Structure 1
Amino acid sequence: CLHHLRGEFAFALWDEPNQTLFAARDRFGIKPLFYAVRDGTVVLASEAKALFAAGVPARWDPASFHQANSLVPIPDQDRSLFDGVRQVPPGHYLLVSRGNLQVVRYWDFDYPPADSAPPRSDADYAERFRQALDEAVRLRLRADVPVGCYLSGGVDSCAVLGLAARHRRDPIRAFTLTFDRAEYDEGAIAREMAERAGADFYPIPIRQADLADHFPDAIWHSETLCINAHGVAKFVLSRAVRDAGYKVVLTGEGSDEILGGYPHFRRDMLLHDNGGQDPREVGQLLEDLQRANPVSRGLLLPDGQGLSLDGVRRVLGFAPSWMEANATTGFKLHALFSAPFVAEFADRDPCRSLLNGLDVNGQLAGRAPVHQALYLWAKTHLPNYVLTMLGDRMEMAHSIEGRVPFLDHRVVEVVAALPVAQKIRGVTEKYVLREATRPVLTDTVYRRHKHPFTSPPVALSPNEGLHELLQDTLRGPVLTSLPFYDQAKVVALLDRLPAMDVSERTAVDGVLMMLLSACVLHDRFKLAA
């Protein structure tokens, strides 16, 4: 039956005559599905906190915590941060019968072998993609309540709004977050796009004080670690949408994950899929990429020394740039570990642990490097971070149903079959999306490079509420009781912040947010070691 389902789902069925439990999760992990085995009984829930309420002990899983502080901020795809609490991975179902528990894969991305795509014109590729995406948008407009759109200045949400407007006679309400620092604010670009689509523009201003006020609740709902306060901003956005009387929104999540939108995928293209381009030209383009993405430093692009990725290079022949970026943040976090925690996991290779849980020969071998990087990102960051911290958890915290047209499996299957050059053309990301939806985009959006959705780093506003929350928490008793970090090392880092320049404070934001969110989880769930 799962092959006939389309969209976002997680469900469980009990077959009484055969005494069999069947539970399944959608192909991409849009909806969560956790389970635990307690006293011989399988317990399922959409949140770990529900399992705790059912009697599962609330404890950290030290191995998962180490993994999340290495590959930042993700455990393995079938685990959680909590001991004994597992996830049904995306595209899998759980079958329990007479004491036997199986987790079975029913769908995967299935990228084609390198250079095997049939030759087509750019126009043919764009039209095929446009038809698939337009249908996905149209289907997700079906509702007995008003449907709004989340709108940023990016091509993803703008394309969704532009296509949706063609299927509606009345104006669509477009909800946009705005920030008080110009380099993070996309309000003007979003407003222009809303006018182009004939939408009702609804800006929602976010300040550092708002992020501080809602940080603990957002982390409690997410049940995960964060690398930026952008998830908290999404939490506030969803609350505003609810207060405006809306229950359903279309979002642009998933586009970057299938179309190579992030700068690290462009870096992979330049380094590993450049078709023999002149090395000096490649070097110059890499410098330009780094210079054009200052807000991605330490978040989506490498920054300084990193953890070893030799195990990944031995298996894949290269290290995806997103792993290199995470390894640099992981290196900074490892430097803050307590001595006992370092000793406990001294011989652990977190990257090999990840690869051992995947079908490397079946899904990665022989694929283009960019497709390998996309696959690994989709198995880790997409379900365990993007769709959690920036998606369903923040939306459902306020009873908002987020619908994601880019993660319609028919759209994804069309995109997976496209050549890499349709995803990244030179240094232009999401090439086929831009061409397919150009008629509904503003020229500003069509020509604009990817700007990651991030809130201003906490250390850039030392006199604001979020920075005060950070300082009070990391210098206080909660971090003292957290068994993984050495508080003296953390305090020394806090003491160095005033001397850092803007670039350094931006790059350390992921570390600070990981520390703060770990403290919130530890405190709110009263987690045992």
Structure 2
Amino acid sequence: MCGIAAILSPDGPVPAQALRRATTALRHRGPDGEGTWIAPSGRAGLGHTLLAITDPEGQQPIASEDGRLHIIHNGQFYDYRRIRASLEARGHRFRTRSDSEIALHLYEDLGPECLERLRGQFAFVIWDEESGVLFAARDRFGLKPLFHAEKEGRLYLASEAKALVAAGIAPSWDSRGVYHALHACPDERLSLFHGISQVPPGHFLQADGSGVRLKRYWDLPLTPGRSRAARFRRAQHPAPTPDAAIERVRELTEESVALRMVAAVPVGCLLSGGLDSSAVLGVAASCTDEAVAAFTVGFERLDYDESTGAREAAAAAGGNHTVVTASDGDLADHFVDAVFHAETLQYNTHGAARYLLSRGVRDAGYKSVLAGEGADEAFFGYEFLRAAAGAARGSGAGALPRVLARLPRIAAALLRSPSRHQPGLAAASPWLARLALLLPAAPSLFTRLARGLGHIRAVCSRDFLDDFAGYDLYRAYYRRCRRTADLSRREPARRLLYLWLHSLFANYHLAADRLDMAHGVEVRLPFLDHHLFEYTNRLPVSLLAHHPREKHLLREAMRPYIPDPVYDRVKRPFMGPSAVGTDGPLHDFLQDTLRGEAVRAVPFLDHPAVARLLDRLPALPAEDRPSLDSLMLMLASVAVLQERYRL
């Protein structure tokens, strides 16, 4: 894991000072080394900061044998030793011991098709001095960030938006990016900063004197549909039995964890005590004779603290367990730094908690840890996915009586007014409000969303909302995904998973990379290995979601690696302490921040409305507190970004 920066200047020399500033801005991502390089032609410059994980002397860029290609890489390629051996057998000579170099030689041989051979979490840039083409790519799920911007005929790329700002991209709010983020539907192509975009997950970028082109190289594969041909294929290749699926999930998880334990430094685990992280720790412990270090964030407020369950899991795996305890004061003191590094809006104090946890990992002498993120996506752990899968059970053969029984409900829903029954939702998206009345799974999911959107829109300026009048962002997002990903051929629950992966998951959950790398800590995610994920994606939804207990398939597959209390434990989302409804440091932080000058400088907020909301907090009804807690922390994030980035 490292930091990378690049500048392409087809018509003139690369500005060396801008490249150095961008690279220096990423020093926290790579505290073990730093350097810049400008091509002999002056058309391209590459910057790199090193976090030494596989090669202590892995300074970059790395050049090909003939010096034509140079690569900078952030992330980790797994199974790289096997690939390296095959490349050496074909005559390639390696300059380093780094996993990064395999991408360089694969690109020499295959061009963009090299991406099909790479397994891992990565963002990299390759410059071809002979052809004048710059090639950049981001991993399949977007685990590693890659931002880009254009200015005065030059293309800038970097691991973080702040590096592009340091290079000279003037920071200002991107109104569309902000609108999407405030409505919990962030766009994977945008950032919060005007003119700064993201290379989307599973895409590569090519640039030369003729322009910049983005192309998708991977997407979550389609599963067989309901056509006659699809039924024939299923008959020829029937779905595995539950026992066979459990065994295969166990094998793939063991392989994924084992590959991620390969490093020149000790590898630990982040541990919550839930099924996912406990399973990763259990498998990791089986890969080594040494005790695996496990790190847990604990909270002084015991109703949020999971450290007791984590201790049980660590003891069962024989791990060395460290609890990093975060008080409300700690969370308040570090919220600003967490937002600055994440470069996104925080909906909960768990961002500050993750920032503090990674600092504790670094202070313990660790650079690399495994974690359990991705299991809820791979194994339908979220209630909204399970609800969608359950609602779709009545759509197969023999379902006519159930469909007929629903017709009165559907007819009644069509006659109801979305603006009256879901006013907060209808104001932002009439399409989604109508859908909420029709879907059986709607009440809990959409009621929470509608309440939150009502609060959000009440504090936005009228001019800002008027700019998006008539723009139904949820419908636009669905239509874009339907067009590019053939959503109509996916099962309803898998459609919802796809929409989740390309919105909040890619743009919010995976922003944790920047919280971890703020302290030079890389986090490896075995459940987001694409071999494992593609396998679970091929399984019938019934195997993943129709058991009364969530993630039953994973629970059974990991049974040999987890203790009984973890096996029996019910899923609990990772949430930090609420900042609303309590006195103390978090409440004081919100009041001070949201009554400050930074909020008054934000162009899209109604500042008197924010002040009125702050005045109402002490008398807030209990049912409004969760959505208002998210709102207040989002507004505090806006204030932090306004001030720290001088927007």
TM-score, with structure 2 as normaliser: 0.74
5+ residue gaps, structure 1: 283-301
**What's the CA shift for 1:96?**
0.9
In structure 2, distance between residues paired with 1:325 and 1:9: 35
Please name the residue that 2:608 is paired with. Answer: 488
Please name the residue that 2:496 is paired with. Answer: 373
**What's the CA shift for 1:33?**
0.3
**What's the CA shift for 1:380?**
1.1
Match of 1:417 among 532, 538, 542: 538
- Are residues 508 and 346 of structure 1, via their aligned partners in 2, closer, same or farther at CA, if it must alter by over 3 Å? same
- Greater CA drift, 268-277 or 91-100: 268-277
Please name the residue that 1:289 is paired with. Answer: none
- Matched residue type, 1:199: G
In structure 2, distance between residues paired with 1:96 and 1:461: 52
- Asked if 1:518 corresponds to 2:638, the answer is yes
Q: How many residues align?
A: 502
Please name the residue that 1:182 is paired with. Answer: 302
Please name the residue that 1:33 is paired with. Answer: 146
- Are residues 114 and 431 of structure 1, via their aligned partners in 2, closer, same or farther at CA, if it must alter by over 3 Å? farther
Please name the residue that 2:64 is paired with. Answer: none
**What's the CA shift for 1:360?**
3.7
Contact 2:225 2:489 in 1 (8 A): yes
SS of structure 2 residue aligned to 1:482: coil
In structure 2, distance between residues paired with 1:325 and 1:304: 12
Match of 2:520 among 365, 381, 399: 399
Match of 1:306 among 425, 434, 438: 425
- Are residues 84 and 324 of structure 1, via their aligned partners in 2, closer, same or farther at CA, if it must alter by over 3 Å? farther
- Greater CA drift, 15-24 or 421-430: 421-430
Contact 1:27 1:108 in 2 (8 A): yes
- Matched residue type, 1:200: N
Please name the residue that 1:224 is paired with. Answer: 344
- Are residues 105 and 397 of structure 1, via their aligned partners in 2, closer, same or farther at CA, if it must alter by over 3 Å? same
The alignment-based identity, stated in percent, is 43
Contact 2:331 2:352 in 1 (8 A): yes
Please name the residue that 1:103 is paired with. Answer: 214
> C-alpha deviations, 1:288-324, integer Å up to 9, x for none?
xxxxxxxxxxxxxx99953454435899996986677
- Matched residue type, 1:209: G
**What's the CA shift for 1:515?**
0.6
- Asked if 1:438 corresponds to 2:576, the answer is no
**What's the CA shift for 1:498?**
1.5
Please name the residue that 1:55 is paired with. Answer: 168
Contact 1:110 1:363 in 2 (8 A): no
**What's the CA shift for 1:501?**
4.3
- Matched residue type, 1:179: F
Contact 1:258 1:374 in 2 (8 A): no
Contact 2:246 2:556 in 1 (8 A): yes
Please name the residue that 2:470 is paired with. Answer: 347
> C-alpha deviations, 1:482-502, integer Å up to 9, x for none?
111112211222222222244
Contact 2:348 2:578 in 1 (8 A): yes
In structure 1, distance between residues paired with 2:500 and 2:446: 9
- Matched residue type, 1:15: D
- Asked if 1:167 corresponds to 2:280, the answer is no
Please name the residue that 1:457 is paired with. Answer: 578
**What's the CA shift for 1:98?**
2.3
In structure 2, distance between residues paired with 1:270 and 1:508: 30
Match of 1:24 among 123, 131, 137: 137
In structure 1, distance between residues paired with 2:186 and 2:603: 18
Over the residues paired in the alignment, what is the CA RMSD in angstroms? 2.5
Please name the residue that 2:452 is paired with. Answer: 329
- Are residues 429 and 39 of structure 1, via their aligned partners in 2, closer, same or farther at CA, if it must alter by over 3 Å? same
- Greater CA drift, 327-336 or 218-227: 327-336
> C-alpha deviations, 1:253-292, integer Å up to 9, x for none?
111122222222233234444666989xx9xxxxxxxxxx
- Matched residue type, 2:213: Q
> C-alpha deviations, 1:392-442, integer Å up to 9, x for none?
111100000111101111111111111112222344222211111011112
- Are residues 183 and 11 of structure 1, via their aligned partners in 2, closer, same or farther at CA, if it must alter by over 3 Å? same
Q: Name which structure has the greater RCO, CA cutoff 8 Å, separation 6+.
A: 1
In structure 1, distance between residues paired with 2:496 and 2:274: 22
- Asked if 1:82 corresponds to 2:203, the answer is no
- Are residues 62 and 395 of structure 1, via their aligned partners in 2, closer, same or farther at CA, if it must alter by over 3 Å? same
**What's the CA shift for 1:114?**
4.8
In structure 1, distance between residues paired with 2:476 and 2:618: 37
5 Å-filtered alignment, 1:232-311, equals 232-273=352-393, 305-307=424-426, 309-311=429-431
TM-score, with structure 1 as normaliser: 0.89
- Matched residue type, 2:455: K
5 Å-filtered alignment, 1:108-147, equals 108-114=219-225, 118-147=238-267
Contact 1:257 1:382 in 2 (8 A): no
In structure 2, distance between residues paired with 1:97 and 1:108: 26
Please name the residue that 2:43 is paired with. Answer: none
- Are residues 102 and 356 of structure 1, via their aligned partners in 2, closer, same or farther at CA, if it must alter by over 3 Å? farther
In structure 2, distance between residues paired with 1:121 and 1:40: 57
Match of 2:126 among 1, 4, 13: 13
In structure 1, distance between residues paired with 2:451 and 2:191: 22
- Matched residue type, 1:397: A
Contact 1:458 1:509 in 2 (8 A): yes
In structure 2, distance between residues paired with 1:352 and 1:410: 31
Contact 1:266 1:427 in 2 (8 A): no
> C-alpha deviations, 1:313-360, integer Å up to 9, x for none?
899996986677545422320121112112211221111332344244
- Matched residue type, 1:497: L
- Are residues 470 and 272 of structure 1, via their aligned partners in 2, closer, same or farther at CA, if it must alter by over 3 Å? farther
- Are residues 4 and 315 of structure 1, via their aligned partners in 2, closer, same or farther at CA, if it must alter by over 3 Å? farther
- Matched residue type, 1:368: E
SS of structure 2 residue aligned to 1:9: strand
Please name the residue that 2:324 is paired with. Answer: 204
